[in-house]
Each structure stands twice: as C-alpha cells, then as structure tokens.
Structure 1
Amino acid sequence: MSTTLADQAGATLTVEGGMFVFRMVMPDLAEGSDATDAALMLFAARSDLFQGMVLWDQYEAIYRVYQRRLAQVCEEAGAFTNLYDPLCQVAASYATVRGVRQHTGEKFVDEAVSCMERVPAIGVLLRGGLLTPKQFRLALDQTAAVIDTDVLAVIDAEAADRLRGAGNLTGPRVTEIVAAVVAEHDADAAQAAREAAKPRKKVVVEPVDGTLADLRVTGTVEDVRLAQDSIDAIIAGVCPDDPRGKAVRRSDAVIALLTGKVFACQCAGDDCPSRAGVDVAARLATVVLHVVARRESLTGESDIPAYLDGFGPITAEHARDIAADTDTVVRDLDVTDLLGGASQPSNGYRPTAACDALVRAVHGRCTHPGCDMPAYRCDLDHVAEYNHDDPAAGGPTCPCNLNPKCRFHHGLKTFVDGWLDDQIVDANGVIWTETTTPEGITVRSRALNHWLLPELGLLPCVHHDAPTTSRPTTESDPGRPRARTAAKHRYRMRMRAYNRRTRERPAGPSSAVETPPF
C-alpha cells in the first residue's frame, strides 16, 4: 500500500450560517485494518492543514475592515494624520480585542494587506493548506524589498507555481524557492537590500548571567558560512573522548582563536596527539565554501541567481563579487561531460567530480523530507543500491540514481527495514525523489535547484536499468538463496519497479493516478 499526503487534501474550511465549519479526513481506526498505521500517521502529521485556512480567513476578515476604514477616512478631510492612518486605526482595534501590543496588531494587518494585495497567488497556497502560517511569513519576508508592482506580480505568480509543484516543503525550502525567484526577476532590489545590509555589520556583547556573556558577530553570508565551517573543522580535530559537547567546543575554539590561545583536546589520554593543541592551520586548509553559478551569470550576460551551499540563492552580482575574490578558485563544470559516463573509469561505484558537483548542486540539501542538511555535508547515496558483485544488475552511478542524504537518513534507509526511496526523472527533465515510510506513506519532493540546472534531467543516461518486471514479493526466488542484504536490495528494486508501473497505469473509472508535479 502506498498512501500519499494528498489523501489529506479533503480537509476544508467553510462558513455556514455564520459559523466556521472544519471538515478533515479522519483515520480508519478499524481493528485489523492494513491502513490503520498510515491513517493515524497522516492524521497526526497533517491534521494541522486547517491552520493556514483559518489564517487566510483571518487575514481576509481584517482586510475587509481595513478597506472600509480606508474608504471612510478618504471621504473625510483631516480624518487622520500620518501617525493615525487607517492601518494604525484598524491595528489598534485588533490589538485591543486580541490583547496584544500595537506593534503586533500593525504587523498582522500589514500581513493581511500583503496577502490580499501584494502576493495573492502565494496567499492562495496558504488558504489551500499547502503553506503553514510560518512558511507563508517566510515567503512574505523574501518579497518585502520588491517595490515595482508589475515585477512583484510576476514574482508572486512564478513563486506560487514553484511552491505548488515542489512537493514536500520545509521553511528553508520555501525561503530558497521564493528567494531564487526574487533574485532572478528583481536583481536590483536584491542588490539594494544587500548594500543596505552592509553597514549593519557589528559585534555585540550581551551578558547572559554572572559568569557568561554572548558574543554575536554579524557579517556577510559567505564570511559567516566560512567562519562556521572553520570552527567546525577545528573542533573536529579533538579525539572522540573529549568530554565537552559540540556547542561548548565551538565556544572554546572561537575564544581561543580570538585571544591567541591554544585550543586543545581535554580528554584524559596521555597519548592523544591533540592534547598539546589542535593544528589550526591544517584544519582550516580543509575548509571549502561551495558556490554554484551558471557561466553566463559570472560573465554578466545573465542575472540567473547562484546557489551558496548551506545558505541558498544569491544574486548573480553577489556571485561575481565572490568569484573576483583573490581566495576564490573558479572551476568550469560542463554538464555534457556526463555524456561520456558519470562514474570513474577505474571504479564504477564512484561518481566523477562533475557528476558529484552537479548532483549536489541540483538537490541543494538532504533529499529526505524535512531535512535541510546542506548537500556538501551529505553522503552521495545510490537510490537503487549499487551491486558490487554484478554492477550491471544494480543501481547505476548516474544523476538519475544519485542524491545527497545526511549521515542519519542515509543510515536510516540502509539499516532500518520498511523504508523505501526512489528517484524519478519526468518527461520535462524534472528530478523527483520519493520516500516511503514503514507505514506506507509516500512523500514526494522536487529537486530544489532545478531552476539552476534544468538541463541535467534532460541528459540521456548511458546506462541500462536492471530488469525488474515481476510483482514485488517478500520471498526469495525458490532455489536461489541470497544473503540478507542482497535479498533486501533485490526486494527494494522490485518494489520501486512495481510502484512506478502503478503510478504510470492509466486512471480507471474509480481511480486517480498522480502525475508530476504530483
């Protein structure tokens, strides 16, 4: 059984007789039902869909009050001042009734006006339950600097379309999807925001208690990312027996660097090479900050945004500034290099450098739903397992079968029974990943950065898939005993093939088949 998140799409919010009426898909609690666990899981994880629906109706209600107040004061000369404008007046009433401060009331009314006037297409996604309230506000933040109403209308429509077709959404994914659209269509606004932020660089010290204080440094995204990676590289130089937690080691490393002290391991072992101090220079030499940009963006022929690993989309001009830095190494990457093969000639299991970089770039982050680990901190996983004994019978080393997974989710798939993942390239060259839980719930996600590398999924593969035409079964073929791992891999391959055939089967009178963008 494969149950998708669309099964909760029946949730609705309506107004009947002056009352709000919620209708939600309730789980099948019948004892012995095969779908019980899946139904319970879906209800527990997705029954909050109504929150976006309720918020949209709240926005719509306060917006109607605002519109009437605006019409009233416009008819009365001297009805308000710059301080007590219509938005302020409505916000004051809302704050009084809600029991919140005036600032909170003004923020809510401003969000309502933005939802109805500035980004109505994204607002529709909130109303439909696709975006949570928090995700909607993150999308609003990304469009705040756009002033041109015509450009904003284009951004609103395209961002809503990308969000609608993205599959599984998290806060960082929403932020990066909308930021990429804004950077592409209003590079001037993005650049202006960047320039306006430069004077806000600062170092702030605030007391925490009698013995501790916070040291907060504000810098450019690339500098902060480099600093964070540098700190992590330094603390990785201590041995596993160091008694400090990761947060404490980070704090000690920063203070040691700033004060010129030695950062050393605090384990009790006399033979630990790091007890005398970590070789900071050697650790820092391993730190690399990855930015992926199209060649035409670096030459100034295009304003297509670039992607900064661990942060998200940045403007083309920002990428050009990074490329011009004397410490930056620029390497050409040609997608057509994959036409000759995506694996190393001496080892079919290992991808080429070009394949590795392209796969990490197009996915951007860990492909497991809900995880936002940056791609360059992840393992590259063969979705269909590579067969070391018979490579032709296993999953190929190819962009169609590789994606980044953080160490935890890589291990979850590998060692915990019941998890199944798949990767599909649709007719438009869009790469989709699927993750099915042990309860049979399938979550689909679109490659985060397809906008950056749209041609990757259109490249013809040079491998041949292993034959997987039989119906899945949990039993091994009679007379052909296999090791447990080999049997598990075989079963997963057959399950993927079966799921794909089920997905591609024409819809009958009583069935509905989902097709991309799902």
Structure 2
Amino acid sequence: MNIKVRGDSGSASAVSSVVVDESAIVIRIGRPGGTGESADCTSRADRSALLGFAARADCYQGLVLWHRYEAVYALLLAKQAESDGPAGGVESGADVYTRLYDPLCQVAASYATAAGVRQCTAEHFVEAAVACMERIPAVGRLMRDGLICPAWFRRVVEQTALVDDADLLAFIDAEIAHTLSVVGKLSAGRVEALVSSIVAEHDPDAVTLTREQVKLAKQVRVNPLGEGVSEVIVTASTEDAMVVKDVLDAVIAGVCSHDPRTRGERRSAAAVARLAGTDFVCECGRDDCTAELSTEAIASRCARVVLHVVVRKETLGGESDTPAHLDGYGPISAEHVRELAARPDAVRREVDLGELVDHQAQRGNAYRPTAAVDAAVRGLFGTCSWPGCERAAWKSDLDHVCEFNHTDPSAGGPTCVCNLNPKCRFHHGLKTFVGGWVDDQVVDANGVIWTEVTTPEGFTVRQRALNMRLLPELGHLTCRHPAPTRPGSGHAGVAPERPRTRVEAKHQYRMRRRAANRRAREVVEAVVPTGASVTECGTVWGTEWGEPQF
C-alpha cells in the first residue's frame, strides 16, 4: 500500500507518504521549510504549510494503531483455531478453555504482560481490535487512512456496540464511513453527533436500550474528595440536566462584576443554595454592589430558559424514526423526542417553508432574518459553524457570512439561508475584527451546504452543515435576492474622499480571497460528490419535502 497525503488546504509543500509491505511500515512526513528558531516564514504559503504540519502531522497514529489491531486480531484467530481444533482440550487440559479463560482472555493476558498494562485494559484493546476488523471494518479503514483519529474511532465502537444484527451493522458501518468521508472537516463532537444520528435512524433499539439504562441509573450520590470537600452527583435525563445547568447560569448571571469567584464556584454555590432553600448572594463585599439576585430578578431570568429541539414532522407522527437534534447536546432518538413533545411544558412550532421561499428578511428591515429563517439556520448547523467549535447554535450569534452593507444593502451580503450561519461570540468577533480571517458558504449542485474558513496563514478548512440529513430542504431553496453590485462610494462629497467605505473595502477584499480560495480548491481533489459542481446560491426547490418542526 502506497498512500500520499496532503494537508486540508491542498498545500504541495508538505506532501507525505506511507509505504506498507509485508515486513515494514515506512512513514514519510513532509516537513515544511522555515522551521527552527531562526525561521523565516514571511510568505503566506510558508505559514500555511507550517500550520498544516503542526495540525496534521499526527494523522498516522491511526495507521499504526490499525496495524496493531490487525496483529492482535491475528493472534486471537490463531488462539480460537486452537480451541476449536481436535487437540484444543487434550494437550492443554480440559479446563483451559472455560468461560473465564476463553481465547480473548488468553490473548489479552499475553498482551497485558508484553505491554505492561492491566488485564481489563488489554481486554478492551482486543475487543477494539475485533470491532475494527469484524464489526466496523469500513470505519476502521478511515482511521487507518488518517481521516479519523483513534479517540474518535473508539467513540464509534462504543456507539455501535448495541447493534447486534450482522447485516444491519454492515449497512451502518458503510453509512458511517461514507458520511464521515464526505462531510469535510471533522471534530470529536461532529463525529459523535453524525454517528449517533445514523445509529438512531437505522437501529432505534440500540439507542433506546441505552436510554432505558440511563433511566434506571437516575440517582444522587455524594463522594468525599478530602479536605472538607465532597461532590454531589445527580444523574438525570439529558434535557433535565441541561435545564439545570441553564438555570444555574441564569442565577449566577445576577452577580456584580466584582464577585471574586470563578464561574464554576458560582455554579456550585448557586446549586447548593437552590437545593438547600437558601439565598444565593454576591461575595464582592462592596457597599455599591449592583447584583440583581432578588427572587423576582432570578425568576425572570429563569423564565427565559428554553431547550430547542429540531425534529421532522413525520418523526413526531411516528411515520419515521429520523433522529432529532437537541440544541447543546446533539442527536436524540425518535422515541426520546416523542417523549419530550408529550411533556406538558413543551411548545410545538411548525416552520412554514413557504414563508422561507416568499421572504427571508423581516419586512422593513433587510438586515434582520425572519423567525422562521433564524430557527431554520440554527437547526441546520446545530452548533457554531466554525470548525472545531461546539457552542450551541441557539447560544450563538446569527452571522452574515458575506457582510451586510447597511449603507447599500444591494452591495453587501443578503439576509438569506445561503449567507447566514451561527457563530459563537468569540468566533464572530474573530472573523469581524481580526484581519486575515475569511469565511465562506456555498451550496453545491446537490443542495448540500458547505462552510469554509481560511486562517490568516492561508490554511483552508471545509465542512458540511451538521444537520443536512435532518433538514435537506434548505439546500434546495431558490435564492431570490439580487447579486451584489459593484461597491461604489459611500461618501457624499465630504472630504477627505475615498473610493469606497471601510465596509465596502473589506467586503471587496473578502470576495477576492473567496475567489482565490475557490480557484485553489479546483486543483485538488474535490470534497463534493463526484460530478457535482459548486454554485453560489443553490438549485431550484423542485421536490416535495416533509416540513421540519421546531
């Protein structure tokens, strides 16, 4: 096997390769020039290569682990063949292959001795090897090829552990491998969300069993930590735990800016106060304290705590088992979301897709999206759209990817699904106020919405909107906004004159960078499906879809 790997940005300066034969694994990791204490990396290409090397040079850990799994799996097969053979119980004694000392246990014992680890750790390793070679081999090959890291692979093993039908497991394995290979940049949270949604859709029992186990495990435990400190562990359903956390945040939001405690210390004090029925107070000790911790103020903030769930209409009706998305958590099973919808405090709102086609900005204010567009975009992305960030979508800002021009709206980015995505406050500010960052959003010919972020060093990361499987309609909406016009002067004869305003200049710069990024992307292997082209706004919405619920 001979593999050549390039960085995400397509830089050719750090080409790496792997050669695997019968006797050796030869790994060549391309090291970009300009490293060292006296590094001179003034060019953008040099900095992009250095960033790619720093971020991606560990991608071969999965390759080595895959071959380790292959080796221990071969030992396991050999041990199983011995136990099944005619001499299996004769030469070694009749009690060797019992329930306790089965082939897996024996191989794990040998591995534990050689590796210097505990027996339970060794057994987990052998079980993961069996999963890699037998249960989910397609996902295992993704780890081997460096697309997912070992930690992500282990999470896939855990999430597919309850699937017991061999044919269904083979299908789920192929579906997971295909999905992870086409969605662009991955992170731990995205891998877990995508895998859990696939398992929940095709084998609801694999999720339901886990949920039932959690229900039986609901309890309160107190564990002493020493030095007069103990921890209280409350096990609750996902939605209740999230509400508790949000309520605590609403309580501690009332302290003044001089409170000396950390956020964790404030949450702890607020939780104890709520459970004990005492007052939560600010500890600034100042006479001019401006804390708002009255019963009425706390109740007002707690009343604004809302959990958002995005679910298909047919899932609520029982016609489908498509998983839903719980904001701040991730995919939840169809049975779970139907339980949530049946709660007396649940409020159900339908999104009118016809309204999205008719208009997407508020009438009279082209900058503000409608409530339907706001909910649809947040539900589509599920989290902050920045690669690696998992901030909940409803706790993030809704950002115009191509900046809205308040002076001349027709010259700036439109308020449209094709130009909106959620960004947490940090990444929103990073994109807006720090020079060199460029983000883009495109809809390919198949109606798949992609986002791209380019660092100041020129390193580009591309990923698919997280919940495209849940809301595919949004990629097929027809954009009715006019194309941006060429920026003109924003001044009315006031000296000193400039050819364009700061907003227009920044917009023009970003459009140039986006165009350059697209041209660079054309010379490397496309991430979109074979035969698909990238368009700016999407294709005509010509298919009947079930309406999603929010």
- Tell me if the contact between 2:251 and 2:293 (Cα under 8 Å) persists in the aligned partners: no
Instruction: Please report how far the alpha carbon of residue 34 of structure 1 lies from its aligned counterpart in structure 2 after TM superposition.
Output: 4.6
Find the partner of 1:14 among 16, 19, 31.
Answer: 19
Q: Which residue of 1 aligns with 2:67?
A: 57
Residue of structure 2 in register with 1:474 after alignment: none
Aligned letter for 1:18? S
Equivalent residue runs for 1:190-201 within 5 Å: 190-201=207-218
Contact 2:11 2:49 in 1 (8 A): no
> Which digits, 9 at most, give the CA deviation of each residue in 1:312-371, with x for residues without a partner?
111111111000000111111132321011111021111111101110111011111111
Equivalent pair of 1:359/1:399 in contact (CA under 8 Å): yes
SS at match of 1:355: helix
* Aligned twin of 1:507: none
Contact 2:405 2:503 in 1 (8 A): no
Deviates more, 1:446-455 or 1:270-279: 270-279
Q: Contact between 2:200 and 2:323, CA under 8 Å: does it hold in 1? A: yes
Q: Do structure 1's residue 411 and structure 2's residue 429 form an aligned pair?
A: yes
Kindly state the Cα deviation for residue 517 of structure 1 after the two structures are TM-superposed.
5.0
- Please tell me whether residue 40 in structure 1 is matched to residue 50 in structure 2: yes
**1:211-245 deviation per Cα after TM superposition (whole angstroms, max 9, x unaligned):** 21111111111111111111111111222222211
> Where does residue 296 of structure 1 map in the other structure?
314
SS of structure 2 residue aligned to 1:49: coil
Structure 1 counterpart of 2:540: none
Q: Does 1:361 align with 2:384?
A: no
- What is aligned with 1:308? 326
* SS state at 2:417 partner: coil
Contact 1:266–1:275 (8 Å) recurs in 2:
no
Match of 2:194 in 1: 177
The one of 461, 470, 473 equivalent to 1:452 is 470
Match of 1:97 in 2: 114
Deviation at 1:6, TM superposition (A): 4.9
Q: Which residue of the partner structure matches residue 71 of structure 1?
A: 81
Q: State how far apart, in whole Å, the 1-side matches of 2:520 and 2:146 are.
A: 27
Distance of 2:279 and 2:506 partners within structure 1: 49
Structure 1 counterpart of 2:28: 23
- Residue 499 (structure 1) aligned with residue 517 (structure 2): yes
Query: Aligned residue pairs: how many?
Result: 503
Tell me which of the two structures has the higher relative contact order, counting C-alpha pairs closer than 8 angstroms and 6 or more residues apart: 2
Query: Is residue 2:275 matched to residue 1:251?
Result: no
Query: Does the CA-based 8 Å contact 1:166-1:517 persist in structure 2?
Result: no
Alpha-carbon distance, 1:20 to partner: 2.6
Distance 1:415 1:395 in 2: 17
Counterpart mapping for 1:110-125 below 5 A: 110-125=127-142
Q: Secondary structure of the residue that 2:26 maps to in structure 1?
A: strand
Equivalent-residue separation in structure 2 for 1:468 and 1:280 (angstroms): 50
Counterpart of 1:92, as a letter, is A
Q: How does 1:313-324 map to 2 (within 5 A)?
A: 313-324=331-342
Whole-Å separation in 2 of the counterparts to 1:131 and 1:218: 31
What is the correspondence of 1:217-232 to structure 2 with a 5 Å cutoff? 217-232=234-249
- Report the TM-score when normalising by structure 2: 0.87
User: Mind listing any 5+ residue stretches in structure 1 that lack a counterpart?
Assistant: 470-478, 505-510
Q: Percent identity?
A: 53
**In structure 2, what residue type is equivalent to 1:385?**
E
Instruction: Kindly report which structure 2 residues correspond to 1:434-513, keeping only aligned pairs within 5 A, or say none.
Output: 434-467=452-485, 480-500=498-518, 503=521, 511-512=523-524
For 2:398, the equivalent position in structure 1 comes to 380
Judged with a 3 Å threshold, the aligned counterparts in structure 2 of structure 1 residues 498 and 341 are, in CA distance, closer, same or farther, namely farther
Q: CA deviation at 1:261?
A: 0.7
For 2:375 and 2:192, locate their aligned partners in 1 and report how far apart those are by CA, in whole Å: 23
Whether contact under 8 Å (2:182, 2:527) holds in the other structure is no
Q: Is the 8 A contact 2:260 2:283 kept in 1?
A: yes
Question: Secondary structure of the residue that 1:156 maps to in structure 2?
Answer: helix
CA RMSD of aligned residues (A): 2.2
- Indicate whether 1:514 and 2:514 are aligned: no
Letter aligned with residue 229 of structure 2: L
- Structure 1 residue corresponding to 2:291, chosen from 258, 261, 274: 274
Output the CA distance in 2 between the equivalents of 1:47 and 1:3.
9
The one-letter amino acid of 2:45's match is A
Report the counterpart of residue 439 of structure 2 in structure 1: 421
1:501 and 1:460 mapped to 2: Cα distance? Answer: 25
2:182 corresponds to: 165
Instruction: Give the aligned residue type for 1:198.
Output: K
**d(CA) in 1 for partners of 2:474, 2:466:** 13
User: 1:257–1:33: structure 2 CA closer, same or farther, 3 Å change rule?
Assistant: closer
Q: 1:240 to 1:485 in 2, by over 3 A?
A: farther
Q: Determine if contact 2:10/2:521 at 8 Å carries over to the other structure.
A: no
> CA distance change for structure 1 residues 276 and 220 in 2, over 3 Å: closer, same or farther?
closer
Q: Distance in 1 between matches of 2:529 and 2:464?
A: 8
Q: Which moved more, 1:230-239 or 1:72-81?
A: 72-81
CA gap of 1:15–1:500, structure 2 versus 1, over 3 A, is closer
1:284-329, Cα deviation, whole Å (9 max, x unpaired): 1010001110011001111111110111111111111000000111
Partner secondary structure for residue 479 of structure 2:
coil
The Cα offsets for residues 197-223 of structure 1, whole Å up to 9 and x where unpaired, read as 211111111112222111111111111
**Which segments of 5 or more consecutive residues in structure 2 lack a partner in the other structure?**
1-5, 488-496, 531-550
| Aligned equivalents of 1:293, 1:34: Cα separation in 2 | 44
Provide the rounded CA distance (Å) in 2 between the counterparts of 1:80 and 1:464: 74
Q: Contact (CA 8 Å) 1:468, 1:497: kept in 2 or not?
A: no
On the 8 A contact 1:13/1:20 being kept in 2, the answer is: yes
What is the CA–CA distance in structure 2 between the aligned matches of 1:259 and 1:332, rounded to whole Å? 40
The 8 Å contact of residues 254 and 292 in structure 2, kept in 1 or not, is answered as no
CA distance in 2, matches of 1:485, 1:319: 44
Which TM-score applies when normalising by structure 1?
Answer: 0.93
Structure 1 residue aligned with 2:420, among 382, 402, 415? 402
| Secondary structure of 2:315 counterpart | helix
